[in-house]
Structure 1
Amino acid sequence: MATITDVSKRAGVSRSTVSRVVAGNGYVSEANRKAIEAAIAELGYRPNTLAQALRSNRSNVIGAVFVDVGTPYFANMTYGVQRAIRPAGKSLMVSSGFADQDEEARAIIELIDRSCDGLILYLEHPMRNDVAEMLRRADVPVVSIGHKPSPVSRGQVMLDNYGGARAAMRHLLERDHRQIVYLSGQAEFGDTIARRDGMIAALAEYGMDMSDIHVVAGEFHQRFGYAATLELLDEDRAFTAICAGDDDIAGGVLLALRERGVRVPDDISVIGFDDAFHAQHMWPPLTTVRQCMDALGEAAGNLLLTLLAEPETDRLKTVVNTELVVRSSVAAPAMHREGA
């Protein structure tokens, strides 16, 4: 395996000059830089990252804890983080917390033990006190994603769940829907709470409140949307629209309605939240609220880089906007169309 000494001999420069090029620090003439880069390519030299970390007291690794990295939602968030930190020479180590406080704690401790330079956290539960104290002692900068930052976070990235849910409910109300079912995700999740607040605001504009619609809480999963919709149909509940907590739930709703011969949007309108990849490929194409998960991840990555470069900076906060995407799954209730 080639060493830095081999590179310096091949390029005809000192070891310190090679080190400056590899580290990206200090002045090196253009001629020497080209000679060193050519020698590195010819010899297949790779710097010893562990040795560099020991010298600089930086591992150049960013740690992230998300709910479940196996889902497209958090995979896109991971992509956004990586897009932000790669140009800065940082690598990414990701773990899942599975919306469980102890699993979240375990994931954070593992990343602390691996000497990550900073952490990006998307947690569904308050951070355990012992873990918060570990982070304080380790002096690791933390950026939180979501409405409830950890007690040690110096940066926060929020999605405008409130505005997105308000726009979705308003879209239904503007089309004269009043018999509305809301199939939410887990009621205790921060996103769910913020979306509920947005819906409350939209309903208030029409002299209504949450008691005027039917709310069923479940999981952010297709099986919940499917089972809940079948139950609504079996109990002969009167409704003209379903507002789904996310596009996975909406997928289950559409499947159940199709199985029962209920036409969308002729008989029932359906609106989702996320604008996941499959939303535009559902039938009919799903009206939904677009949230760019990669933008959330990228914003979190950029905040963390700022904290690493400027340790004394004040607390940072970024809000990522949402957007209503109108497709074909929402129409006015049949009674209003027939009366027009």
Structure 2
Amino acid sequence: MATISDVSKRAGVSRSTVSRVVAGNGYVSSEKRRAIELAIAELGYRPNAMAQALRSNRSNVIGAVMVDIGTPYFANIVYGVQRSIRPAGKSLMVSSGYADQDQEARAIIELVDRSCDGLVLYLERPMRADAVEILRKARIPVVSIGHDHCPLSGGKVLLDNFEGARAAMRYLLEQGHRKIVYLSGDLGIGDAIDRLNGVEAGLAEFGLSLDDIEISSGLFHENFGYAAGRNLLKRRRDFTAVFAGADVIAAGLYMALGEAGLSVPDDVSVIGFDDGYHAQFMAPPLTTIRQKPDRLGDLAAEHLLTLLADPETGPLQSLVQTQLVVRSSVAVHPPEVEVV
């Protein structure tokens, strides 16, 4: 492997001159700079990142803890973070917390131990006290996405779950539906809590309450949508619409309805939340609430870079809006005819 000494010999300059070019610090004549760049290209020289980190006290690595990087939603957030930090010369190290306090604490501590310059956190549980103290002593900036479970956050990026869920419920009600089922995510998780509050607000606009609909909660997963749909159909068939608290829940519900010989939207209307990559390819295409997880990552990374440049900046906060996307999974329900 080529060394900085090899480059200096090939270019005919001192090691310190090569170091200035590699680090981007100090004046080097254009003639010497060209010679050094040519020597680097010919020899395939790569700077020692660890040595540079020791000299600058910066690793140029950003750490991120997501709920589960194995899912498309959180993978898209990671994509947004990486897209924003790359132009700043930063690399990314990612870990999952699995909505478990101990796993989240372990992920945070591991990233601190690996000398990350700052952290982007998407946590679902209050941060464990020892992890808070380790993070405090590390004195690195932190930006939280979603509900803020880190008392040291200098930046926050929030998704407008409340307005998105209110828009979804309002749309079903505007289409004439009253016998509605809401399949929520885990009601111990911040996003699910906010969406339930939005559902309640949407119902209130029509003089209704949560008592006027059926609510079932579980994981944000296809398996919950499928199991909840099957269980629902065993108990009742009089519902006309389902609001699935995530598109993946809607996908599982579609399967349960199909197995029961029911069609969407002729028999049951379905609306989702997320507008994931598969929503428009479902049969029929899913009406849903669009959010942009990569935008959450973009903004979190931008806030973190700002805090790295100026630690006194803040607190920083951004709110990412949602949007109703109407496709063909919701039908108009005719008014109920009262029997006199």
Q: Determine if the alignment matches structure 1 residue 38 to structure 2 residue 38.
A: yes
Q: Which residue of 1 is the match for residue 110 of structure 2? A: 110
Supply the distance in 1 between the matched residues of 2:184 and 2:73 (Cα, whole angstroms). 17
Q: Which residue of 1 is the match for residue 51 of structure 2? A: 51
Q: Is the 8 A contact 1:3 1:45 kept in 2?
A: yes
Supply the distance in 2 between the matched residues of 1:325 and 1:17 (Cα, whole angstroms). 57
Q: Which residue of 2 is the match for residue 151 of structure 1? A: 151
Paired amino acid for 2:111: L
Q: Is the 8 A contact 1:61 1:117 kept in 2?
A: yes
Q: Give the secondary structure class of the aligned counterpart of 1:242.
A: strand
Paired amino acid for 2:108: I
Q: Is the 8 A contact 2:222 2:249 kept in 1?
A: yes
Q: Which residue of 1 is the match for residue 308 of structure 2? A: 308
Supply the distance in 2 between the matched residues of 1:27 and 1:271 (Cα, whole angstroms). 61
User: What is the aligned residue count?
Assistant: 337
Q: Which residue of 1 is the match for residue 77 of structure 2? A: 77
Q: Which residue of 1 is the match for residue 227 of structure 2? A: 227
The two structures, once aligned, show a CA RMSD in angstroms of 1.5
Q: Is the 8 A contact 1:266 1:333 kept in 2?
A: no
1:294-305 correspondence runs (5 A):
294-305=294-305
Q: Which residue of 1 is the match for residue 208 of structure 2? A: 208
Q: Determine if the alignment matches structure 1 residue 141 to structure 2 residue 141.
A: yes
Q: Which residue of 1 is the match for residue 260 of structure 2? A: 260
Q: Which residue of 1 is the match for residue 281 of structure 2? A: 281
Residue 29 (structure 1) shift: 4.0
Residue 233 (structure 1) shift: 1.2
Per-residue CA deviation, residues 247-267 of structure 1 (Å, 9 max, x unaligned), is 110001111111111121111
Paired amino acid for 1:3: T
Residue 86 (structure 1) shift: 0.8
Q: Give the secondary structure class of the aligned counterpart of 1:266.
A: coil
Residue 334 (structure 1) shift: 5.2
Q: Determine if the alignment matches structure 1 residue 161 to structure 2 residue 161.
A: yes
Quickly say closer, same or farther: Cα 1:145–1:86, change in 2 above 3 A.
Answer: same
Residue 28 (structure 1) shift: 3.7
Per-residue CA deviation, residues 30-57 of structure 1 (Å, 9 max, x unaligned), is 4433332222111100001111011001
Paired amino acid for 1:166: R
Bigger shift: residues 28-37 or 218-227: 28-37
Q: Determine if the alignment matches structure 1 residue 323 to structure 2 residue 314.
A: no
Supply the distance in 1 between the matched residues of 2:155 and 2:214 (Cα, whole angstroms). 37
Q: Is the 8 A contact 2:123 2:147 kept in 1?
A: no
Residue 26 (structure 1) shift: 3.6
Q: Which residue of 2 is the match for residue 24 of structure 1? A: 24
Q: Is the 8 A contact 2:176 2:334 kept in 1?
A: no
Q: Which residue of 2 is the match for residue 240 of structure 1? A: 240
Supply the distance in 2 between the matched residues of 1:20 and 1:312 (Cα, whole angstroms). 29
Q: Is the 8 A contact 1:267 1:333 kept in 2?
A: no
Residue 317 (structure 1) shift: 0.7
Q: Which residue of 1 is the match for residue 192 of structure 2? A: 192
Residue 237 (structure 1) shift: 4.4
Supply the distance in 2 between the matched residues of 1:310 and 1:13 (Cα, whole angstroms). 36
Supply the distance in 1 between the matched residues of 2:25 and 2:293 (Cα, whole angstroms). 34
Supply the distance in 2 between the matched residues of 1:72 and 1:331 (Cα, whole angstroms). 28
Quickly say closer, same or farther: Cα 1:164–1:25, change in 2 above 3 A.
Answer: farther
Paired amino acid for 2:320: V
Residue 5 (structure 1) shift: 2.1
Bigger shift: residues 32-41 or 206-215: 32-41
Quickly say closer, same or farther: Cα 1:47–1:236, change in 2 above 3 A.
Answer: same
Q: Which residue of 2 is the match for residue 179 of structure 1? A: 179
Supply the distance in 1 between the matched residues of 2:77 and 2:16 (Cα, whole angstroms). 39
Structure 1: runs of 5 or more not aligned: none
Q: Which residue of 2 is the match for residue 100 of structure 1? A: 100
Per-residue CA deviation, residues 52-74 of structure 1 (Å, 9 max, x unaligned), is 01100111111111111111111
Supply the distance in 2 between the matched residues of 1:205 and 1:29 (Cα, whole angstroms). 70
Supply the distance in 1 between the matched residues of 2:53 and 2:289 (Cα, whole angstroms). 43
Aligned-residue identity in percent: 68
Paired amino acid for 1:105: A
Bigger shift: residues 22-31 or 199-208: 22-31
Per-residue CA deviation, residues 282-329 of structure 1 (Å, 9 max, x unaligned), is 100011111111111111111111110111112111111111111110
Q: Is the 8 A contact 2:127 2:149 kept in 1?
A: no
Supply the distance in 2 between the matched residues of 1:313 and 1:233 (Cα, whole angstroms). 54
Supply the distance in 1 between the matched residues of 2:313 and 2:31 (Cα, whole angstroms). 38
Bigger shift: residues 113-122 or 148-157: 148-157
Paired amino acid for 1:164: G
Supply the distance in 2 between the matched residues of 1:75 and 1:162 (Cα, whole angstroms). 23
